Amino acid sequence: MKLHVNGADHEVDADGDMPLLWALRDLLNLTGTKYGCGVAQCGACTVHLDGHPVRACVTPVKSVGARKVTTIEAIGSPEALHVVQEAWKQADVVQCGYCQSGQIMTAVALLDQVPEPSDAQIDGAMAGNICRCGTYGRVREAIHLASRLKRGGK
Amino acid sequence: MNLSRRSFLQASTAGLVITFAIPQVLRAAPKAMPLPPANAFLRIAPDNTISIVLSHVEMGQGIWTGLPMLVAEELDCDWTKIKPEHAPAAPVYGIPGMGFQMTGGSSSTNSEFDRYRQVGAVARDMLVRAAAARWKTTPAKITTKDGVLSFGDKHLTYGDVAEEAMKLKPPGRVTLKQPKDWKIIGTRVKRLDSPEKITGRAQFGMDVQFPGLRTALVRRAPAFGAKLVSFDAAAALKVPGVEKVVQVPSGVAVIAKHFWAAKLGRDALKIEWSQPDGGGVTTKAQFAEYRTLSAKPGTIATDVGKVDNALAKATTKLESFYEVPYLAHASMEPLNTTIKIDGDKVEIWAGTQFPGGDSLAAAKIIGTTPDKVTLHTPFLGGGFGRRGNPAADFVAEAAFVAKAAGVPVKVVWTREDDMHGGYYRPAYLHRVVVATDPKGNPTAWDHTVVGQSILAGTPFEAFGIKNGIDNSSIEGLGDSPYLEKVAAKRVSLHSPKNAVPVLWLRSVGNTHTAFAMESMIDELAHAAKQDPLAYRLALLSDKPRFAKALQLAADKAGWGSAPPPGHARGLAVHESFGSIIAQTAEVSIEHGKIRVHQVTAAVDCGTMVNPQGLEAQIQGAIVFGLTAALFGKLTLEGGRVQQSNFHDYPMLRIHEMPKIDVHVIESGAPMGGIGEPATAPIAPAVANAVFALTGKRLRTLPFDLAEAT
């Protein structure tokens, strides 16, 4: 089966029902996408399919088709952070960090759709991402900051 | 996991590995402890990279940044060159004064405050002497700043002289900076683990990968107390990718090429379990039993004055029952452990709060000696106490699986496994009877706690259970400042046993004692027709730290001014882990549910190291406590846990997040902990606010407005 991930084509030996999450983690060694619940309740496994956020834990690989998969690894690197990651760093969001790949993937997609989200729009987009450490206040702050940074502000 | 990264013990990095024998006989100020062997804690490479070895693990609490701040304060190094790493399991990383290596009890900063500053000071002393030798001058004439040594117009970096410094004899004593001279401690420092964690590069236990590694899932008993009768692996072994099925003490493990095959294989297992002895724990019956037990005093923790007489004579009495359920820690990273056995050598990768105990347990099971075991600790995707288990359950199980499988395995727990796996915060019931004088002040207090002991049967029993009392069941109650002046008081404890494994959860006993105490105090205030703040301040008149925290939280929340229409405020104050925290909560009822809009916290932790991290911990602990107060509930039926995942064991989400303001009082008292204490006061603060709003009292967690009376 063919998967287009982070700009490259990959041939994976997977049963079609295998969730995309496990194909990414166990077959392609892309471990930035996390397993948290397996039932689309926590958002830790969020990736983009053609730019739209989806829960990889309930997305069978056979349903992906030719759509482009983007994972946290392709959003930015420590040396070249994406603007949302830069905001995350400045707002000092993370604690344990396990949910943060998913939080950032959801936030990146939100800001692509809604450049200046209100608190209510942030809540609406981010409510599917659980953070057990309780970083929500700083997540909200970082999204507002990323919105300003994206538009050239501080 | 980067397998090429070797621990410092085997490393042969060039540059300064400050190596010297521990100067056992030498004593350093301010405590009568030997100076730390800096070689175990610090390496400086020729490129000036400073590796700092952390004796405590990073599980979100920020120790990855906090301990390096302590070193850097004394070392005068370049902050951007610091690279923290987790220590392996080794005696030198035991907590100073305690001996064992663990992360917990909100102790990571305060227990290491002297040692890590000393590490920085020892290293700086040796670097300065090395530079002095090179420049043929005296150490006193050399200054240090940002990792650069200077003598007049001459300069050397730490990396330049690191190798020479390592050959010097370590100092006999060092003088640490006075607080007024601190440049880093007390300032806002951002986390050093951000770049890895926001780019998906951070390695958690779940992310360990190497060629030949297999994934194992274990089918465990569906009910606590049930035992394996028989199993048939035929169908499981037919699943593509499944390689082996082995029996282990905890159940049956399916070993496969990857998680998905292991899961399908496990689903295909045919397996029969016995019924639990005695039918297993059922929540409703358990609380009925606890209530019956509470009618009589249990083992006595405190008995002063004649409580029964005082209560019999009293004209004004209040009696309340408070109940809290079993709670799962539900870290975002489900439990997992990777083990590779190679002859008598064992490598373990486990996100653990107890590396020492876990590697000993694994060595015993695998049949090797502890010195042959190397334990790597990746980042922990949350811990909250679950990853610090004296029974070493998840590491021990993985040792059995790896031994039986004969191949390297990563044992992965699904979310459902994690939630059903036990080691919960125990369920507790409090019966509190209080007599008051005509002014409404308590004159007699009879407090009976019922709930399983966390420490019984663990290595911690010896110092945690005294005279039959598990202190973790009554901490925050027996030592409550409210009880000090009460003439007649009795605190007693029943510790019934059952098959449900229990463990500490963030703030431990305070999760329920603060709820009972601060709810009862609020009930007494209202019964006395007094303002809840004024009533508390009067009772705490000779407890200035408590009074100050309460007053600050109240002032900042606008206590006394009218809240917005439909809102009300409640407050609570509680001391735990050496820190005193007061909180006010402002609530309303929206669509029949409690909505918490604002929490204002006042924190007296003595001295603070990183305000940035402290605020995060206070906010996080409040979210943790609020999640328990609003949603947290595991129930059992015949020994089976009824909840399984986040749909029926919900977590607070961003749209339910209150605004949280944190105010710090640096009282100069001995440094308290900060990871746990803010968990405890939020449930009573919210319950007290709901009472102020509705006149109805919530005495059971999680809150159910339909049950309020």
Cα distances (Å, whole numbers) of residue B422 to B45, B248, B281, B465: 45, 17, 13, 22
Q: Distance (Å) from the C-alpha of residue A131 to the closest C-alpha of chain B? A: 7
Residues B405, B441, single domain; the answer is no
Determine the 3-state secondary structure of B321 from DSSP: strand
Residue contact B200–A101, C-beta within 8 A = yes
Residue contact A96–B382, C-beta within 8 A = yes
Residues B339, B437, single domain; the answer is no
Question: Is position B418 within any domain?
Answer: no
Residues B456, B558, single domain; the answer is yes
CA gap B47, A37 in Å, rounded: 43
Report yes or no: B345 and B390 within 8 Å, Cβ to Cβ: no
CATH number for the domain that contains residue A116: 1.10.150.120
Residues B185, B93, single domain; the answer is yes
Residue B570: CB partners within 8 Å, gap ≥ 6? B522, B532, B584, B585, B587, B684, B685, B686, B687, B688, B689, B690, B691, B692
Handedness of CA B247, B249, B251, B255 (dihedral sign): negative
**Res B8: pLDDT:** 27
* Nearest residue to B423 via CA among B354, B328, B324: B328
Residue contact A127–B652, C-beta within 8 A = no
For residue A130, give the nearest of B58, B202, B651 by CB distance: B651
Q: Which chain A positions have a beta carbon within 8 Å of B415's beta carbon? A: 36-39
Q: Distance (Å) from the C-alpha of residue A76 to the closest C-alpha of chain B? A: 6
Residue contact A26–B659, C-beta within 8 A = no
Q: Distance (Å) from the C-alpha of residue B209 to the closest C-alpha of chain A? A: 8
- DSSP assignment, residue A24? I
Question: Is position B3 within any domain?
Answer: no
Residues A90, A134, single domain; the answer is yes
Residues B478, B400, single domain; the answer is no
Q: Distance (Å) from the C-alpha of residue B611 to the closest C-alpha of chain A? A: 12
Residues B228, B315, single domain; the answer is no
CA gap B676, B680 in Å, rounded: 8
Residues B209, B194, single domain; the answer is no
Residue contact A96–B381, C-beta within 8 A = yes
Cα distances (Å, whole numbers) of residue B551 to B162, B487, B539, B574, B611: 52, 26, 13, 13, 21
CATH number for the domain that contains residue B178: 3.30.365.10
Give which of A99, A133, A138, A139 to mutate to test B binding, by max B Cβ within 10 Å.
A133
Nearest residue on chain A to B655, judged by CA atoms? A123
Q: Distance (Å) from the C-alpha of residue A145 to the closest C-alpha of chain B? A: 15
Give which of A26, A48, A73, A141 to mutate to test B binding, by max B Cβ within 10 Å.
A26
Nearest residue on chain B to A44, judged by CA atoms? B332
- Range of the structural domain that residue B505 is part of: 283-326+424-707
Residues A11, A30, single domain; the answer is yes
Residue contact A73–B200, C-beta within 8 A = yes
Q: Distance (Å) from the C-alpha of residue B282 to the closest C-alpha of chain A? A: 26
Q: Distance (Å) from the C-alpha of residue A85 to the closest C-alpha of chain B? A: 6
* Nearest residue to B8 via CA among B31, B35, B42: B42
Q: Distance (Å) from the C-alpha of residue A66 to the closest C-alpha of chain B? A: 22
Nearest residue on chain B to A25, judged by CA atoms? B207
Report yes or no: B241 and B257 within 8 Å, Cβ to Cβ: yes
CA gap B47, B25 in Å, rounded: 34
Which of A49, A74, A99 finishes a domain?
A: A74
Residue contact A26–B616, C-beta within 8 A = no
What are the E-state strand segments in B325-441? 336-342, 345-349, 373-376, 409-412, 428-436
Copy the structure tokens of residue B52.
């700092």
DSSP class per residue in B217-274: EEEE-SSTT--EEEEE-HHHHTSTTEEEEEEETTEEEEEESSHHHHHHHHHH-EEEEP
Report yes or no: B533 and B569 within 8 Å, Cβ to Cβ: no
Give which of A18, A73, A96, A135 to mutate to test B binding, by max B Cβ within 10 Å.
A96
**Res B582: pLDDT:** 98
Residues A96, A63, single domain; the answer is no
H or E segment to which residue B596 belongs = strand B593-604
Q: Which chain B positions have a beta carbon within 8 Å of A122's beta carbon? A: 654
Residues A98, A116, single domain; the answer is yes
Q: What ipTM describes this predicted complex?
A: 0.98
Q: Which chain B positions have a beta carbon within 8 Å of A94's beta carbon? A: 191, 193-194, 197-198
Which of B163, B198, B233 finishes a domain?
A: B198
Residue contact B260–A75, C-beta within 8 A = no
Residues B575, B485, single domain; the answer is yes
Residue contact B206–A34, C-beta within 8 A = yes
Copy the structure tokens of residue A73.
């690894």
Residues A59, A87, single domain; the answer is no
Q: Which chain B positions have a beta carbon within 8 Å of A14's beta carbon? A: 260
Segments in B421-499 forming alpha helices (H): 461-464, 471-474
Residue contact A36–B622, C-beta within 8 A = no
Which of B412, B446, B468 finishes a domain?
A: B412
Q: Distance (Å) from the C-alpha of residue B306 to the closest C-alpha of chain A? A: 45
**Res A3: pLDDT:** 98
**Res B96: pLDDT:** 87
Chains A, B: CB pairs < 8 Å: 188
Report yes or no: B173 and B28 within 8 Å, Cβ to Cβ: yes
Cβ density class B659-691: b for 16+ within 10 Å, e for less: ebbbbbbebeeebbbbbbbbbbbbbbbbbbbbb
Residues A93, A146, single domain; the answer is yes
Cα distances (Å, whole numbers) of residue B132 to A7, B45, B139, B167: 55, 19, 5, 14
CATH number for the domain that contains residue A50: 3.10.20.30
* Nearest residue to B330 via CA among B388, B417, B392, B397: B417
Residue contact A133–B60, C-beta within 8 A = yes
Confidence of residue A57 (pLDDT cuts 50, 70, 90): very high
Residue contact A31–B207, C-beta within 8 A = yes
- Range of the structural domain that residue A132 is part of: 83-150
Q: Distance (Å) from the C-alpha of residue A48 to the closest C-alpha of chain B? A: 14
Which of B176, B198, B220 finishes a domain?
A: B198
Residue contact B653–A29, C-beta within 8 A = no
Lowest model confidence (mean pLDDT) among A2-6, A49-53, B13-17 = B13-17
Helix axes B682-694, B611-630, angle to 10 degrees: 60
Segments in B54-192 forming alpha helices (H): 63-75, 113-135, 158-165
Residue contact A34–B622, C-beta within 8 A = no
Nearest residue on chain B to A43, judged by CA atoms? B332
**Res B6: pLDDT:** 29
Residues B217, B96, single domain; the answer is no
Helix axes B113-135, B63-75, angle to 10 degrees: 40
Nearest residue on chain B to A29, judged by CA atoms? B209
Ranges of chain B with pLDDT below 50: 1-31
Residues B454, B397, single domain; the answer is no
For residue A89, give the nearest of B59, B195, B215 by CB distance: B195
**Res B33: pLDDT:** 61
Q: Which chain A positions have a beta carbon within 8 Å of B383's beta carbon? A: 96
B585-591 long-range contacts (CB < 8 A, ≥24 apart) are B585/B658, B585/B682, B585/B685, B585/B686, B585/B688, B585/B689, B586/B557, B586/B658, B586/B689, B587/B686, B587/B689, B587/B690, B587/B693, B588/B693, B589/B690, B589/B693, B589/B694, B589/B705
Residues B76, B106, single domain; the answer is yes
Residue contact A85–B199, C-beta within 8 A = yes
Residues B469, B407, single domain; the answer is no
Count how many domains chain A has: 2
Residues A66, A16, single domain; the answer is yes
Q: Which chain A positions have a beta carbon within 8 Å of B660's beta carbon? A: 137
